Chain A
Amino acid sequence: MDWLDAHLIPALDGVAYGMLLFVVAAGLTLAFGSGGVLNLAHGTVYAMGAYIAADIGDGSWGMLVLALAVGAAAGATSGGVLAVAVAPVARRGHLDQALLTFGIALVGGDMLVSYFGADQRQVAVPKALEDSVTIAGHQYPTYRLAFIGVAALLAGLGYWLLVRSTAGAAVRATTDDPEMVAALGLSPRVVHTATLVVAGALAGGAGVLGAPIITPSPETADTVMLWSLIIVVVGRLGSVLGALFAAIAVGEVQTLGVVLAPDLAPYLLFGAMGIALLVRSGSGILPEFAARARVLATRARALKGGGA
């Protein structure tokens, strides 16, 4: 019980982190799934939302709502711009797309710093959520708790949208078989653009709401992008539910992991990503190792048989 008591707060923080990262990564995984775009500018959109929250937010509810609207709109716009930018190189493979979106991230990051300044910003939280609540005898910031609730709601909504709605069906179908979708009279490019717009809005909105948790600074974009990438890979590319579990795992590594195993935790994130790639990459890395193990076993048996 003591153990649980001592680690309750980091564990809860991990959930808050994880939920935030999930909202960001869900957009990344959608974009990769439907259009095959490895969008390295995704973290920049989050950073933009966070800067907007820091700039507009003044601790009132009205301004938070305004910031959310602006952030989501700006995010959606960036998604649209990205869709247009990527279209000419859509057939040229992942490397060119990755380089292109990385270039866009650099340009976007520079614009953010020019406009909002290079300092780390503190973000005002609505007054009603400024206090702490008491959970099992621990003080916990109300905002984080509220955020967990909002993010859970968003996650539920996103899951419903993708898995149950017609629009979601179109996105998933585009992932699996773009020609089929085209044959049904639905342009894969429209679906793809819409996905990037929604993904941008999600990241922008997440930036606004998450600004008090992962604060805006020039490093934010890279950090969020790399963590999202880990989540997308660990949670299996294109899978929303997988991304949710992976996001919470990443959040917990950042919080609980640092408390429990400070020396090991930093390696866990990219380590997990590497292992996930090995386990399920289409190139069959593990089956090949298994086959080699069988060859060795056969040889060993043959040697034994020869000696007897």
Chain B
Amino acid sequence: MNTRLSAVIAMSSRYGTVARRAALAVVVVWLLVLPQLVDTYTLVLATQALVFGLLAVGVGVLTGHAGLATMGQVAPYAVGAYTTAWLTRHDITAGLLQLPAAALAGALFAAVTGIVVIRARGVVALMLTLAVGELTATAAVQWKEFTGGSDGVSTPPARIFPGGAELFDDQDIYLYVLVVALVVAGITALVLRSPAGLLLAGVRDNEDRMRAAGHPVDRYLLLTYTGAGAISGISGALLMTYARYVSPQDVGFDISALALLAVVIGGVRSTAGAFAGAGLIVFTRDKLGNWWPGHAPLFLGILFLIAVYLLPNGAAGVAQQLRSLADRMGLRVPGLVPRTPAAAGAGDGTVPASGAPVPEEADAR
């Protein structure tokens, strides 16, 4: 292989191949100019998809990276949403204050519930998180002073800065939500691609080995669970920004199941995939649901079936198959440790090329 080419690949591989970065850039630009391309209704749906996608990112971090399948990520989402509602009603309407507050509330909530949740695995984790989610939804009905009970709570519009203009226009709201979602998702993806991603892969795939090697697995998981709580809390804050209303209906167990579906569609370990899955779900529910009114559940149900039967590794799995093809053609992707020139030479020369994907993207559900 040409040495310069291999150097370029080695450089870019930490953040994905050049092609993937270009594709990501195109998508981001498309999202930024979307308000000029589509009608208001579609734009509102896109906003909804971004908020829901950010919820799915939290679910994906836990399900795909930490190996804790969760049906209860609506809980910190609800905490974030109700916290934001409370702040707005107490005249703290600036998004720049609401977002950290909602993240903190979601994280605190997750840190407390996580002490218990992170000890469970598999189906027990699934049911334990379901219990946490449903208990939170129950609290949303019961604790009327804070949540408005089953009637829900509505709020005046938010602003970005203290004293700034109100976020009222659908375009402004969309762009605000987009920027926040991109920043949060970007940070999440960077963290997962840092050595932290390797630690999580170890915990997910071989917990006993990690413990025996000195890794405090529980602490890693609690930290991850708390981080996912913060992400979901922010997602809840964005829900308040665009819908300006939240009720226990918005934080029910079906939303959790849909978020899990979004992650499965997009590929459990792909951050961008979570948004793609969320977009597909919102599109299915609201566009197709409008086309044949009252039958959104049917389309969503079919989406579940397709996802389970046809996409065992999600959309990202298809992309991964393409990538492993590229690997076999000699474009190998190294792991986390930067290769020294000598090792790179040895790797390219003496070792037969394997279909080895990057650890954090290897999709072995």
- Residues of chain A touching chain B, judged by Cβ–Cβ distance below 8 Å, are 38, 88-89, 92-96, 98-100, 102-111, 113-114, 118, 222, 226, 229, 233, 263, 266-267, 270-271, 273-274, 277-278, 281-283, 285, 288
Task: Tell me whether B127 and A233 are in contact (CB under 8 A).
Answer: yes
CA distance A222 to B130 in the complex (A): 13
Known pairs A100-B304, A271-B131. 13 more at Cβ < 8 A? A93-B122, A94-B122, A94-B123, A95-B126, A110-B301, A266-B141, A266-B142, A271-B135, A273-B127, A277-B120, A281-B120, A283-B124, A285-B120
Task: Tell me whether B119 and A288 are in contact (CB under 8 A).
Answer: yes
Question: A92-B312, A99-B261 are known contacts. Are A107 and B305 too (CB-CB below 8 A)?
Answer: yes
Task: Tell me whether A270 and B126 are in contact (CB under 8 A).
Answer: no
Among B124, B139, B295, max chain A CB count under 10 A is at: B124
CA distance A118 to B308 in the complex (A): 28
Residues of A within 8 A of B298 (CB): 106-107, 110-111
Question: A103-B301, A106-B304 are known contacts. Are A266 and B138 too (CB-CB below 8 A)?
Answer: yes
Of the candidates B123, B261, B308, B309, the one whose C-beta lies within 8 Å of that of A38 is B123
Of the candidates A99, A108, A233, A267, the one whose C-beta lies within 8 Å of that of B260 is A99
B45 within 8 A of A: no
Residues of B within 8 A of A271 (CB): 131, 135
CA distance A274 to B133 in the complex (A): 11
7 closest cross-chain pairs (CB), A and B: A103-B304, A106-B301, A107-B301, A110-B298, A274-B131, A94-B123, A285-B119
Q: Is chain B's binding surface mostly helix, strand, loop or mixed?
A: helix
Question: A95-B126, A222-B254, A266-B142 are known contacts. Are A109 and B297 too (CB-CB below 8 A)?
Answer: yes
Among A89, A103, A288, max chain B CB count under 10 A is at: A103
B20 within 8 A of A: no
CA distance A95 to B124 in the complex (A): 11
Task: Tell me whether B305 and A277 are in contact (CB under 8 A).
Answer: no
- A/B interface sample: 14 pairs, CB < 8 A: A38-B126, A99-B257, A99-B308, A102-B257, A103-B305, A107-B297, A107-B301, A107-B302, A229-B130, A270-B130, A270-B135, A270-B138, A277-B120, A281-B128
8 Å CB contacts to A: which residues of B317-365?
A: 365
B155 vs chain A, min Cβ distance (A) = 25
Task: Tell me whether A263 and B142 are in contact (CB under 8 A).
Answer: yes
For A106, give the chain B residue with the smallest CB separation.
B301
8 Å CB contacts to A: which residues of B243-260?
A: 253-254, 257, 260
B132 within 8 A of A: yes
CA distance A283 to B124 in the complex (A): 9
Task: Tell me whether B312 and A105 are in contact (CB under 8 A).
Answer: no
CA distance A121 to B305 in the complex (A): 30
A110 vs chain B, min Cβ distance (A) = 4
Task: Tell me whether B297 and A267 are in contact (CB under 8 A).
Answer: no
CA distance A93 to B308 in the complex (A): 11
Task: Tell me whether B304 and A270 are in contact (CB under 8 A).
Answer: no
Among B116, B122, B294, B304, max chain A CB count under 10 A is at: B304
CA distance A94 to B302 in the complex (A): 19
Residues of A within 8 A of B264 (CB): 95-96, 99
Question: A266-B142, A285-B120 are known contacts. Are A277 and B127 too (CB-CB below 8 A)?
Answer: yes
Task: Tell me whether B135 and A106 are in contact (CB under 8 A).
Answer: no
CA distance A72 to B123 in the complex (A): 29
A90 vs chain B, min Cβ distance (A) = 12
Of the candidates A100, A110, A277, A288, the one whose C-beta lies within 8 Å of that of B297 is A110
Residues of A within 8 A of B141 (CB): 266
Of the candidates B116, B121, B123, B303, the one whose C-beta lies within 8 Å of that of A274 is B116
Residues of B within 8 A of A98 (CB): 71, 123, 126
Q: Is chain A's binding surface mostly helix, strand, loop or mixed?
A: helix
CA distance A93 to B253 in the complex (A): 20
For B296, give the chain A residue with the smallest CB separation.
A110
Among B71, B127, B298, B304, max chain A CB count under 10 A is at: B127
Task: Tell me whether A273 and B302 are in contact (CB under 8 A).
Answer: no
Residues of A within 8 A of B308 (CB): 89, 96, 99-100, 103
Residues of A within 8 A of B200 (CB): none
B180 within 8 A of A: no
Of the candidates B116, B138, B303, the one whose C-beta lies within 8 Å of that of A278 is B116
B69 within 8 A of A: yes
B228 within 8 A of A: no
Residues of B within 8 A of A88 (CB): 309
CA distance A196 to B144 in the complex (A): 42
Of the candidates B69, B120, B261, the one whose C-beta lies within 8 Å of that of A283 is B120
Residues of B within 8 A of A111 (CB): 298
Residues of A within 8 A of B124 (CB): 277, 281-283
Residues of B within 8 A of A102 (CB): 257, 304
B307 within 8 A of A: yes
Residues of A within 8 A of B121 (CB): 283
Among A118, A229, A288, max chain B CB count under 10 A is at: A229
Binary interface encoding of chain B residues 173-190 relative to chain A, with 1 for a CB under 8 A from any of its CBs, else 0 = 000000000000000000
B105 within 8 A of A: no
B205 vs chain A, min Cβ distance (A) = 14
Question: A222-B254, A277-B131 are known contacts. Are A106 and B142 too (CB-CB below 8 A)?
Answer: no
Of the candidates A96, A274, A283, A288, the one whose C-beta lies within 8 Å of that of B135 is A274
CA distance A118 to B257 in the complex (A): 22
Task: Tell me whether A103 and B302 are in contact (CB under 8 A).
Answer: yes
Task: Tell me whether B138 and A226 are in contact (CB under 8 A).
Answer: no
For A102, give the chain B residue with the smallest CB separation.
B257
